[in-house]
A and B are shown apart, each in its own frame.
Chain A
Amino acid sequence: MTTIDLADQPPAGTTTEAIGSAPPRRRNAVAAAKDYLKAAPAFVWALALIILPNFVLLLNSLWKNDFGTVTKSFTLENYIELFQSEVYRTLFWRTLLTALTASLIATVIAYISAVVVVRYFGRYKLMVAILVVVPLLISYLMRIFAWKIILGEHGILVGALGDAVPKNILYSQWSVILTLTYVAIPYVFLSVFVALERIPPHIAEAAGDCGASPWKTFWTVLWPLSRGGAAVGFAIAFVLTFGDYVTPAMVGGLSGTMLGSIVLQEFGIANNWPMGSAVGVVVILSGLVVLGVISLFARTEARFD
């Protein structure tokens, strides 16, 4: 039997942390440097591939362009011209609408698919998940080109459904939305699949045992726990679709022109790198705003394990 000496016990109201922990150990400088150097590759990667390129882009956007020659004097005229230009404003809103629409549709389709796969495919769910993402192994251009064949006036869709589908669906904004949705689905699916996989099945069973209908179980249990994954998937889809210019160029025709083509134009024909950089900064900042809003949905409301 262990005897407890009350004289050794802490006085009432004293926190254990105040008296329970030892004084902080001092590591020597060499050990500390070793630890930081181990993290150095990550710093270098972030610096070289994220911070510096974006900094250079921002810097370029604030410089003047005089007939193709960049003058390194700071000015906001690129941004002023952007916001005053009806062309850029129109393109911006069209691009934003297209990207949001495609991302939303992709998220809905991918979420439903992920729920079906996780719930009904049992031990085959991983294999099915792999099949969903396997198109990513094929060249992006080839996948876009395939949609030209599917949606063309003499394509597979018209051939199969005849007059039930419009013949001029290709080279329209709808064909851009459709193709971007297709491109985004595997990415959203992966994110949602992982989120759903983390939810223990007994939680849904417990809700059913408590009398909740399938819809109530989904809305009050599954959705709050998985909406973070859906939000992340939506964010990935948005980032992919907002800056795309290849898809609009291949399947959008004149009606599908998006902001990315302006960036290409400014860095090419226009030889106006500062303006192109300004458009790039606007694209990045717009994406960050949308991602900021999405992050509000990415919080999980409760721990479930």
Chain B
Amino acid sequence: MRRKLAVVVALVIALVFAVAGCSSGGGSGGGADTKTLNLLTWEGYHEQPWLDEFTKGTGIKVNATNVGSPAEMFAKVKANPTQYDVVLATSGWFDNYAQNDLLVPIDPSKVAAQPSPGFDWQSAASSGGKQYGILYNWGDQPLAWLPGSIPNTPEMKKYLDDQGRPNDWNILWDPVFAGKVSVFDDPTSVMPMVPLALGFPDPYKLTDEQLAQVQEKLNGLHSQVKRLTSGFDDQTQQFASGDATIGYLNIISEVAALKKDGKQLEVNNEVKQGVPAWTDNYSITKGGAEKLDSVYKFIDYTAAIPWQARFIGTSSNSGALSLEQAKTPEAVNAGLTQEALDATLIPATASGDAFFSKLRFFQPVENLDKRLDMWNQFKLGMST
């Protein structure tokens, strides 16, 4: 009886593998629907009414899924490389995507309008000499605070600039703000701020000695933070409720979101030690490689001034327009008023290198495993 049971089980196993083998060519599968794009994006980047407009004009349907962190986006693509066709990959992650063979290189000749925001975004969207991304949005992670939350004391003056704005990352470590500092749960985005607070010019390439100092500094932040937020909306709500009064902002669009609720949030995008910055770039997956015509149509459509102006005007993100493009009548007609423009980083780009030299765009780091271990030690409140 045992032998018969073993034979049946073996037959069942063989059947299961046979069925799995027949279906393993799947994902979006052979015969992919080239008129449907599956997009992995960020909150506020591709609103449904805008996508419906694109569908109406081109006949290409776009299904958008939002993520809360670059790590989540990478994990989703790696888990199922053909489920999504286009992803908004963040700078600093392209080596990961390339090493895992998850993306196809961009063909610049197929992109009608190359973004020209005033800085070299192509390097951050490349890996191994190949360009894998087309800029869609960029921004930085500014220092943010609720109006009236900075005590008017002599001790605070060392953190302020001559306009009375906080201009030093070290303010986040001041005991006055214990339990009131907002930081989000993304070590790759947050940790670059810590070496800047220590005065290290390159927050992405640290020596062992510098890493030890960063660990100690990071652990010092434990008592300042009650909880780590996840996603843009979570941090917005934390500021809105007053649970946090000062922090390291995830994205500038939170300012606009708070303003809609009648609340103010002040930001400083030019902190004296430098500000971590990022770019989000359209990247084409293996699934999208079978729908290149539709993919490039979508990229071109959303890179055009009307779409970008609406995106920028609605979310206060910086998009991919230059200052000149942002001031054109076409942009204004699409909703990018002067007030909306002033809420973005675009006017600051007029300073050219004087502004961009303070930004530290995300890059691959010297030792990711070490940094993650440091982050976990910070979360656990472990002292060095």
- A residues at B contact (CB < 8 Å): 32-33, 36-37, 40, 43-44, 47-48, 52, 67-69, 85-87, 90-91, 94, 153-154, 168, 171, 249, 252-255, 257, 261-262, 265, 267-272
Contacts and interface: CB of A to CB of B under 8 A. Distances in A.
**Complex A-B, nearest 6 residue pairs according to Cβ-Cβ distance, in ascending order:** A253-B227, A269-B71, A268-B71, A36-B8, A268-B75, A171-B227
A67 B95 CA distance: 10
Contact of A87 (B9, B69, B228, B377): B377
Interface residues of B, number: 42
B112 interface: no
18 contacts: A36-B4, A36-B5, A43-B8, A68-B100, A168-B179, A253-B226, A253-B227, A254-B379, A254-B380, A254-B381, A255-B381, A261-B379, A265-B71, A265-B372, A268-B72, A269-B186, A269-B368, A271-B75
A165 B12 CA distance: 59
A253 B234 CA distance: 13
B75 A267 contact: yes
B245 interface: no
Contact of A257 (B78, B243, B380): B380
A37 B227 CA distance: 54
Contacts of B382: 86-87, 90
A36 B187 CA distance: 53
B230 A249 contact: yes
Interface of B: 4-5, 8-9, 12-13, 15-16, 69-72, 74-75, 78, 96, 99-100, 179, 185-188, 222, 225-228, 230, 241, 243, 368-369, 372-373, 376-382
Contact of A91 (B4, B368, B376): B376
Where chain A touches its partner, the secondary structure class is helix
Given A257-B379, A271-B78, 13 more contacts: A36-B4, A68-B96, A68-B99, A154-B241, A252-B227, A253-B227, A254-B225, A255-B381, A257-B376, A269-B368, A269-B372, A270-B369, A271-B100
A168 B16 CA distance: 53
Where chain B touches its partner, the secondary structure class is helix
Given A48-B16, A153-B243, A253-B227, A272 B369 contact: yes
Contact of B12 (A32, A47, A168): A47
Nearest to A267: B75
A85 B99 CA distance: 27
A69 B16 contact: no
Contacts of A249: 185, 230
A47 B69 contact: no
Contacts of A252: 227
A125 B376 CA distance: 47
Among A87, A154, A252, which residue has the most Cβ atoms of chain B within 10 A? A87
A105 to B, nearest CB: 23
B17 to A, nearest CB: 10
Contacts of B230: 249
Contacts of B4: 32, 36
Nearest to B381: A254
Contacts of A87: 373, 376-377, 380, 382
A253 B74 CA distance: 25
Given A68-B99, A69-B99, A87-B373, A268 B12 contact: no
Contacts of A94: 380
A15 to B, nearest CB: 24
Contacts of A90: 380, 382
Contacts of A255: 381
A270 B373 CA distance: 10
B220 to A, nearest CB: 13
Given A68-B100, A254-B226, A268 B5 contact: no
Given A36-B5, A91-B376, A254 B96 contact: no
Nearest to B72: A268
Contacts of B179: 168
Contacts of B225: 254
B66 to A, nearest CB: 16
Given A68-B99, A271-B100, A171 B226 contact: yes
Contacts of A67: 99
Given A40-B12, A87-B376, A271 B222 contact: no
B187 A269 contact: yes
B47 to A, nearest CB: 24
Contact of A270 (B9, B16, B227, B368): B368
A115 to B, nearest CB: 38
Contacts of B377: 87
A69 B100 contact: yes
Contacts of A262: 376
B8 A270 contact: no
Nearest to A261: B379
A94 B376 CA distance: 13
Contacts of A86: 382
Among B241, B369, B382, which residue has the most Cβ atoms of chain A within 10 A? B369
A37 B8 contact: yes
Contacts of B226: 168, 171, 253-254
B125 to A, nearest CB: 18
A50 to B, nearest CB: 13
A249 B230 CA distance: 9
B162 to A, nearest CB: 35
Nearest to B13: A47
A94 B380 CA distance: 10
B236 to A, nearest CB: 16
Contacts of B16: 44, 47-48, 52
Contacts of A257: 376, 379-380
B179 to A, nearest CB: 8
A262 B377 CA distance: 12
Contacts of A269: 69-71, 74, 186-188, 368, 372
A14 to B, nearest CB: 28
Among B74, B185, B378, B379, which residue has the most Cβ atoms of chain A within 10 A? B379
B188 to A, nearest CB: 6
Nearest to B7: A36
